[in-house]
């Protein structure tokens, strides 16, 4: 489902650049929910790793 993930990833990265933290979290949650409910899968390792690294950056800069 890379084509679907690309849209979610683009949105998360855009919101991250704009420092809209809650929106990044919201889009990631939408992605995980949609993938699990529709396809029974989780986001790719790359997207999950990007999100974890982003969260760590947010936490460490607080």
Q: 2-47: per-residue pLDDT in tens? A: 678 999 999 999 999 999 999 999 999 999 999 999 999 999 999 9
What is the distance between the alpha carbons of residues 41 and 48, in angstroms, rounded to a whole number?
12
Domain locations in the chain as residue ranges: 2-45
What is the distance between the alpha carbons of residues 7 and 57, in angstroms, rounded to a whole number?
22
Q: What is the pTM (predicted TM-score) of this model?
A: 0.91
What Cα–Cα distance (Å) separates residue 22 from each residue in 16, 40, 52? 9, 25, 14
Contact 8, 46 (CB under 8 A): no
């Amino acid at each position: 489902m890379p084509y679907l993930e690309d849209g979610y990833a683009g949105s998360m990265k855009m919101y991250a650049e704009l420092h809209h933290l809650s929106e990044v979290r919201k889009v990631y949650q939408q992605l995980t929910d949609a993938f699990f409910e529709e396809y029974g899968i989780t986001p790719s390792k790359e997207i999950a790793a990007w999100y974890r690294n982003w969260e760590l950056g947010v936490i460490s800069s607080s």
